[in-house]
Structure 1
Amino acid sequence: MTIEQELANVVPHEETVLTIGVFDGVHEGHRYLIEKLIHQAQERDLLSGVVTFHPHPQSVLNPQNQLPYLMSLDDRVEEIRHLGVDLIALLSFTPQVAKLSARQFVTLLRKYLKMRGLVIRDDFALGRGRQGNAEKLAALGKEMRFFVHIVSPFTIDGETVSSTLVRQILTQGNMEKARKLMRHPFSISGKVITGDKRGRALEFPTANLDIGSQQVLPGNGVYASIAHADGEQFASATNIGIRPTFGQGRKTVETYLIDYHRELYGKELKVEFIRKIRDEQRFTSPQELKSQIEKDVEKARKIVDKEMK
């Protein structure tokens, strides 16, 4: 399907004010921009709309440097919808789309989405070679009769909030700061698959999650977490890493659900990360590891019990 076919499927019934971006993670910076978008649209009695892309443009422009996602596509679209926009145009980012000039792209937005205004950050750019910066878009707006409203970057504690910053914070395992930037705990979801059952042998049976290779993960370590299973929430301890006690293995995500006694294989599990308990480490024996897991689980229980009160 071409970009024109995808745009033709949206069909707004009135003129629109739009913003454009990937919006990965729908963090506080994105929320601030979308709030400004909705305000600009309501002030003029127009519809508010978000134009977003999948896959991430960088994965098309630079295939050797795949950018891990903070949030699944479905979750991203749902989160944007919850913010109160009137329409969402999800476009496939292809090599053909990458070749469009800024003029060609906004012409399509004018034609199919009835764009009357564009709300962007001051460092925003679109079109082939990022030629459509704020200055260029403002000039196109005067020529093509749409307004451009420029929004300053949103900062927290002096740092500009961006998806790049959130990824960096997650790599550091700072779940409290990630939550501050995203307004909610960072989470991942995946199907529970069969593992090597080492957790069961240690009397702490874990759910091994099948996580896509493009999903960003917190840094290796043990985390207090909340697991969502069977429509309920459970305190849990989640390990991310290569399990060095048993040799250098592939990276895995394993979650021990506290006080859960049902079968999990084949089920979808969502895990919210609350706080890092410790770094991953190598133990001299399985018994030493089991002793540490007991301590980790108790810490996780206390952290999550306080969180869920």
Structure 2
Amino acid sequence: MKIISLHYPLTAGELEDAEPTTIAIGHFDGVHRGHQNVILTAVESARDSGAKAAVMTFHPHPKEVLGHSAGQYVSALTPLADKLECFERLGVDIVFVVQFDLAFAAVSPSMFVHDILRPLQVGRVVVGFDFAFGAKGAGNASVMRELCEPQAIEVSVIEPFLLDGEKVSSTRIRAMLAEGKPQVAAELIGAPYAVRGTVVQGEGRGRTIGYPTANVQPSASYVVPKIGVYAIRAEVDGQLYDAVLNIGVKPTFHEHLPEPVFEAHLFDFHESLYGKTVTLRLIAFLRAERKFESIDALIAQIKADAEEARSILISN
């Protein structure tokens, strides 16, 4: 898969390798089942026409640049690196990563089509039903169709993907994670919600009480699920291990931590993890984090959590 970074206005160098494409356009945070439907439609259409299958996405998120107070994106379901991996698994040939800055934010819908899509030799555009583009979101799917028709660019608009009668959306996934419902989030995404990071030196306390943990420093600003304990699968060097994960501020030992930490205890794993990349895949929420009155009480609860996690993971 080829990854091409674009900046507005496009330069001759950015266009020198342009070739006919069918392109899915969107931010695609979460790359959930609705997004997958849009992208796979583009991939299948490209295969039928002999064009390259492409995705155009934007980085950073527009809300980070424009500073909208409502729902500022300080976190992502799928940071860019994870998103690119998802696109590749879906069969995408080319990803255009458009730098979203103030210059691009001022591009009108007409300029978007004339200055970006046409020079990139886009033959067909695939977007979701709620797609918005152009300065202040002035364009929608209907506007895209109107502007593209004179340029002989076809436009396909994909209807919402429904699950249990409700639209699958990134907002809904975020809500499920905040409520401690990773199973529902997984249904919406099509896979367990995952956080990737590097194992760093922690306080070493877990080893002294018989439950060594990997302190995972997320590689990007991920959405943090509900604070608490989870049954998970941890991926290390391409292998999956059943594990229990605590996301929290460790109230038994600290009055206050500035942000939650991710500590995973991998079952039947005895190698050093320091410096390794680990992907934490959330399977089930076990309980909320709480403060214990003694170390013995904490150890007893950790043992119970581990047993419950093992039981859940056997059937998942």
TM-score w.r.t. length of structure 1: 0.92
For residue 41 of structure 2, the aligned residue among 36, 41, 66 is 36
Question: Once the 2 structures are TM-superposed, how far is the Cα of residue 77 of structure 1 from its aligned partner?
Answer: 0.9
Report how many residues are paired: 306
**Helix, strand or coil at the partner of 2:240:** strand
2:272 matches 1:263? yes
Query: How big is the shift at 1:302?
Result: 2.0
Residue 9 of structure 1: CA displacement? 5.5
User: Aligned equivalents of 2:172 and 2:235: distance in 1?
Assistant: 27
The question of whether the paired residues in 2 share the 8 Å contact of 1:6 and 1:91 is answered with: no
1:300 aligns with 2:309: yes
**SS in structure 2 of the partner of residue 35 of structure 1:** helix
- Counterpart position of 1:281: 290
Deviation at 1:287? 0.8
Which of residues 166, 174, 184 in structure 2 aligns to 1:159? 166
1:56, 1:67 within 8 Å by CA — same for their partners in 2? Answer: no
C-alpha change, 1:206 and 1:232, in structure 2 (3 Å) is: same
For 1:205, the aligned partner's letter is P
Quick one: distance in 2 between partners of 1:148 and 1:7? 27
Q: In structure 2, how many angstroms separate the alpha carbons of the residues matched to 1:110 and 1:237?
A: 47
Q: For 2:131 and 2:80, how far apart are their aligned partners in 1?
A: 22
Structure 1 SS opposite 2:270: coil
Residue in 1 aligned with 2:17? 11
Q: 1:91 aligns with which of 89, 95, 98?
A: 98
Distance in 2 separating the partners of 1:181 and 1:208? 28
CA RMSD, 1 decimal? 2.1
Deviations 1:23-80 (A, max 9, x none): 1221100111112223443454433321111111111111762341112312211211
Secondary structure of the equivalent of 2:278? Answer: strand
What 5-or-longer segments of structure 1 have no aligned partner? none
Q: Unmatched 5+ residue regions in structure 2?
A: 1-5
Residue identity in the other structure for 1:56: H
1:203-242 residue CA offsets vs partner (Å, 9 max, x unmatched)? 2111111125621121111011111224432211100011
1:117–1:204: structure 2 CA closer, same or farther, 3 Å change rule? same
The answer to whether the 8 Å contact 1:8/1:112 transfers is: no
2:3 corresponding residue in structure 1? none
Cα distance in 2 for residues equivalent to 1:85 and 1:192: 31
- 3-state SS of the aligned residue for 1:271? strand
SS at match of 1:60: helix
Report the equivalent of 2:148.
141
Q: Deviation of residue 178 (structure 1)?
A: 1.0
Other structure's SS at 1:119 match: strand
**Residue 124 (structure 1) aligned to one of 123, 127, 131:** 131
Residues 113 and 148 in structure 2, CA contact (< 8 A), matched pair in contact too: no
* Residues 1:180 and 2:187 are matched in the alignment: yes
Q: Which moved more, 1:287-296 or 1:185-194?
A: 185-194
C-alpha distance in structure 1 between counterparts of 2:237 and 2:33, whole Å: 30
Checking the alignment, whether the CA contact within 8 Å between 1:240 and 1:254 is kept in structure 2 is yes
Q: Which residue does 1:233 correspond to in 2? A: 240
* 2:119 counterpart SS class: helix
Return the alpha-carbon distance in structure 2 between the equivalents of residues 38 and 230 of structure 1. Answer: 30
Separation (CA, whole Å) in 2 of partners of 1:6 and 1:303? 55
Query: Do the aligned residues in 2 keep the contact of 1:58 with 1:67 (CA within 8 Å)?
Result: no
1:26 is aligned to 2:35:
no
**1:112 match: secondary structure:** coil
Please tell me whether the aligned partners of residues 79 and 221 of structure 2 are also in contact (alpha carbons under 8 angstroms): no
CA deviations over 1:235-254 (Å, ceiling 9, x no partner): 11100011122233321110
Q: For residues 120-171 of structure 1, what are the alpha-carbon distances to aligned partners after superposition, in whole Å with 9 as ceiling and x for unaligned?
A: 2222110101111122222212333322222111111111111111111111
- Output the TM-score relative to the length of structure 2: 0.90
Give me the whole-angstrom Cα distance separating, in 2, the residues matched to 1:40 and 1:230: 35
